[in-house]
Chain A
Amino acid sequence: MNKALIVARHELTTMLSRTGFLVMTALVPIAMLLLVGGIGAYVFFTSGEDDAPESRTVGYVDTADIITGYEQLGITTFRPYANETVARSAVAAGDVDAAYVILPTYLQTGTVREITQSGGGLGLQTGGSRSAFRDFLRANLVADLGDDNRAGRVIAPAFFVTVEIDAGGQTAEDSFDPATLIFFMAMAFAIIFSILTITGYLLQGLNEEKENRVMEILLSTVSPDQLMLGKLLGLGVAGMIQIGVWMGSAVGLLFGASIFVDDIPVLGLPSLPLILVAFAYFLLGYAFFAALMAALGAVTTSQRESQQLTVIVILPAVAPFWFSFSIIDDAGGLLPQIMTYIPFTAPTMSLARLALDAMGPLEIAASLIALTFSVFVAVKLAQRLFRSYLLVYGHRPPLVQLLKTAVTGRL
């Protein structure tokens, strides 16, 4: 077997047996479970009889021509409108709590446009209307069961696409899908957290191998390039497993919760291409930071020293989170755009901007190309330092010498 693969397998199995890694990997799903459970408990305990409205009016526009009756179900009255404009006016005037436009393709797609007043947040406030409208749809569909689509709609009556409007009945600015935002922001945080965790282990491992003097034994059989590649591969797979567990459990938890709670914002999950883009940012971000950490591990002589120096890498990596409010406010602004091309901030910033729908395909491609180039440079630089300083013990070479080695590849 290729020696880089042997190193990779060793790094992966060692990582997967690390208590810290396992705890960290398990902790995030547990925290999410507790969070969702906490929200569920809150909703359950705060939605008692006293808080329930005595009556509710919900508007609808039936462009699919499926509603045949049932103008009253329980406490909810369903009021038809001729078109969306009229329905919007009714919502804006407060005549109805919310209005639902049953789109012409409803039977095929299940899509219903929900019109609510601005400030609806994650949809918890309109949860009762949605739930009632689902019942309304089911009742009408069942009344005229005749094909599979209708049967399908009985099972899953509606996938809401929310349009928030202002007092004038116009679509409110800054309207975005909160589910997508949350998913991407969580993904950005998880990815950068995972990258820094895994590359931190890479650095720690290198320091251990230098401090324990295993390095010289390894280098008598494995070339520095094979060693670096093996470590990057093995730990990269560990990182992907970690991210996979986190993302998988997040999606699973949301879907699971959506079975029991109508208002979980699960329906805005990003599309496959966007997930692939996020994955590309993860891989490139990991390769970039891992190469830097490998270089740091090669030139430092102790874990303490290397931990002090990692601040240089970590601080820029988390910079987008310092500006998160201004980024949400203006995701297409100059600062977010610049940070999209800086390799330290590109993975996090790009994911945040994707969440806010502020990056076009060209910008995504340009950012990925810039990041790929940065990875290439970082790996080359790391290789030179890796080859030259892995066996330097006891003292860190001066900065001038490091720069010289980085440029020339010679001690």
Chain B
Amino acid sequence: MGAAHILTVMVGVRDSRFDSVSAGAPALEARQLRKQFGGRDVVNGVSLHVNSGEVVGLVGPNGAGKTTTIRMMLGILAPDEGEARALGGPLTAETQERIGYLPEERGLYEGLKLTVVLSYLGQLKGLSRRESAIRAEEMLNAVGMLEHAHKKVRELSRGMTQLVQFGATLLHRPDILVLDEPFSGLDPVNSRRMKELVLQEKQRGAAIIFSTHQMTDVEELSDRVLMIDGGEVALEGVPSELRRRYRGDTIRVESPDELPKSISGVGDIERSAEAVTMRLLEGATAEQVLKELLDAGVRIERFEVALPTLEEIFIREVLGRE
């Protein structure tokens, strides 16, 4: 049975439970979370929310406070100030059961069989032993690991273990998915498989937030992106809007002619076989540059104001804050 077919069977239609996540309330919400370690602010007033059926990408440099924020939102760490809410109310033992969490530093019981591990984790998430056993098989099937069901965890490769862990996260059909660096360490095939599962969960109606360093993952999966730096929210928005917001200072020109070595209002110029990419200085406009090139007799085959990638925006923001 192909993975895609299994996923379709597994996911089915949108789960009706999500319609009852109280009207308009986010599925997962952080309100002014603050946490200090050793007198140092690690998270400083972070607020964010994730709606049902939405995928939010959480980005930020190492040590920015992403994992601490996630742990507070899950109730693993108690915030010094602020509040984490889930499914329209305060975080409780019941709402915690409705969350699927894949931590960044992850592992499973090495000496136990996959079915035993999954069954245990499923029961901790409120499933009965029988439900848990059935769901364990389904999830192993979904991540292509059913044939290894009776193997011990230590017999699996790292990538295989990661797939099983992801299966464990989805075992109880959570309303909220929190994934900390979910695709790190995966080969392209398994990474693709996991991304498909994430999108299927989104389609089912789950609210999903995932942290990553890979901007391509964010662009591929996220409805919104949120950047944390220095324990604060540095940037938030829809990826396409962010790119448009940051557009305007990068110009890409294709021409059969040699471009002048110096163009007024232009800083860095990168030349390649296909095109020349130039960065505008502050105050300069694309129209001025185009006019100057045309006045200089340069034949223009293509002139575009390029949209920056999220990675470029990310780097610019981080460097700008430093």
- Name the residue of chain B whose CB is nearest to the CB of A205: B109
Instruction: List the A side residues contacting B77 at CB < 8 Å.
Output: 391
- Name the residue of chain A whose CB is nearest to the CB of B161: A212
Instruction: List the B side residues contacting A220 at CB < 8 Å.
Output: 74-76, 96, 99, 101, 103
0/1 per residue, A215-248, Cβ < 8 Å to B?
0111111110000000000000000000000000
B106 lies within 8 A of A217 (CB): yes
Instruction: List the A side residues contacting B107 at CB < 8 Å.
Output: 211-214
8 Å CB contacts to A: which residues of B105-127?
105-110, 112, 120-121, 123-125
B123 lies within 8 A of A1 (CB): yes
Let me know if A135 is at the binding interface, CB within 8 A. Answer: no
Considering the chains assembled together, what is the distance between the CA atoms of A335 and B242 in angstroms?
Answer: 76
8 Å CB contacts to A: which residues of B36-53?
37-38
0/1 per residue, B68-99, Cβ < 8 Å to A?
00010011110000000000000001001101
0/1 per residue, A348-373, Cβ < 8 Å to B?
00000000000000000000000000
Residue A214 contacts which of B74, B76, B97, B108 (CB distance < 8 angstroms)? B108
B112 lies within 8 A of A14 (CB): yes
- Name the residue of chain A whose CB is nearest to the CB of B180: A216
Residue A216 contacts which of B37, B106, B109, B168 (CB distance < 8 angstroms)? B106
Most buried by A among B93, B99, B120, B124: B124
Instruction: List the B side residues contacting A263 at CB < 8 Å.
Output: none
Q: A6-B123, A6-B124, A213-B103 are in contact. Are A219 and B76 (CB under 8 A)?
A: yes
Q: A6-B124, A219-B76 are in contact. Are A212 and B101 (CB under 8 A)?
A: no
Classify chain A's interface size.
20 to 34
Instruction: List the A side residues contacting B120 at CB < 8 Å.
Output: 6, 10
Instruction: List the A side residues contacting B108 at CB < 8 Å.
Output: 212, 214
Q: A219-B76, A222-B124 are in contact. Are A213 and B105 (CB under 8 A)?
A: yes
A208 lies within 8 A of B110 (CB): yes
CB of A395 to closest CB in B, whole Å: 13
8 Å CB contacts to B: which residues of A379-405?
391, 393
0/1 per residue, A1-45, Cβ < 8 Å to B?
101001100100010000000000000000000000000000000
Considering the chains assembled together, what is the distance between the CA atoms of A217 and B103 in angstroms?
Answer: 7
B124 lies within 8 A of A391 (CB): no
CB of B284 to closest CB in A, whole Å: 49
Q: A221-B96, A411-B37 are in contact. Are A216 and B103 (CB under 8 A)?
A: yes
Instruction: List the A side residues contacting B38 at CB < 8 Å.
Output: 411
Q: A221-B97, A391-B76 are in contact. Are A216 and B105 (CB under 8 A)?
A: yes
0/1 per residue, B12-32, Cβ < 8 Å to A?
000000000000000000000
Considering the chains assembled together, what is the distance between the CA atoms of A14 and B125 in angstroms?
Answer: 19
B124 lies within 8 A of A208 (CB): no
Instruction: List the A side residues contacting B112 at CB < 8 Å.
Output: 14
Considering the chains assembled together, what is the distance between the CA atoms of A1 and B132 in angstroms?
Answer: 13
CB of B201 to closest CB in A, whole Å: 17
Instruction: List the A side residues contacting B124 at CB < 8 Å.
Output: 3, 6-7, 218, 221-222
Q: A3-B124, A391-B76 are in contact. Are A217 and B168 (CB under 8 A)?
A: yes
Considering the chains assembled together, what is the distance between the CA atoms of A218 and B125 in angstroms?
Answer: 10
Q: A14-B112, A212-B108, A212-B110 are in contact. Are A221 and B125 (CB under 8 A)?
A: yes
Instruction: List the B side residues contacting A6 at CB < 8 Å.
Output: 120, 123-124
CB of A168 to closest CB in B, whole Å: 66
CB of B15 to closest CB in A, whole Å: 20
Considering the chains assembled together, what is the distance between the CA atoms of A155 and B72 in angstroms?
Answer: 73
Considering the chains assembled together, what is the distance between the CA atoms of A223 and B121 in angstroms?
Answer: 14
- Name the residue of chain A whose CB is nearest to the CB of B125: A221
CB of B81 to closest CB in A, whole Å: 14
- Name the residue of chain A whose CB is nearest to the CB of B76: A219
8 Å CB contacts to A: which residues of B275-311?
none
CB of A235 to closest CB in B, whole Å: 15
Considering the chains assembled together, what is the distance between the CA atoms of A209 and B107 in angstroms?
Answer: 8
Instruction: List the B side residues contacting A218 at CB < 8 Å.
Output: 124
Instruction: List the B side residues contacting A219 at CB < 8 Å.
Output: 76
Considering the chains assembled together, what is the distance between the CA atoms of A221 and B109 in angstroms?
Answer: 16
Considering the chains assembled together, what is the distance between the CA atoms of A282 and B99 in angstroms?
Answer: 40
CB of A229 to closest CB in B, whole Å: 14
8 Å CB contacts to B: which residues of A178-215?
208-209, 211-214
Considering the chains assembled together, what is the distance between the CA atoms of A208 and B109 in angstroms?
Answer: 8
Instruction: List the A side residues contacting B74 at CB < 8 Å.
Output: 220
Instruction: List the B side residues contacting A411 at CB < 8 Å.
Output: 37-38
Considering the chains assembled together, what is the distance between the CA atoms of A209 and B117 in angstroms?
Answer: 12
- Interface residues, chain A, with chain B CB atoms under 8 Å away: 1, 3, 6-7, 10, 14, 208-209, 211-214, 216-223, 391, 393, 411
Knowing that A211-B107, A221-B125 touch, tell me 16 more A-B residue pairs with CB under 8 angstroms: A1-B123, A6-B120, A6-B124, A208-B110, A209-B109, A212-B107, A212-B110, A213-B105, A213-B107, A216-B76, A216-B101, A216-B103, A219-B76, A220-B96, A391-B71, A411-B38
Q: Pull 13 A–B residue pairs with CB atoms less than 8 Å apart, ordered by A.
A: A3-B93, A212-B110, A213-B105, A213-B107, A216-B101, A216-B103, A217-B103, A217-B121, A217-B165, A217-B168, A221-B97, A391-B77, A411-B37
> Considering the complex of A and B, which 10 residue pairs feature the smallest CB-CB distances, nearest first?
A212-B107, A213-B107, A216-B103, A220-B101, A213-B105, A221-B124, A219-B76, A220-B74, A6-B123, A10-B120
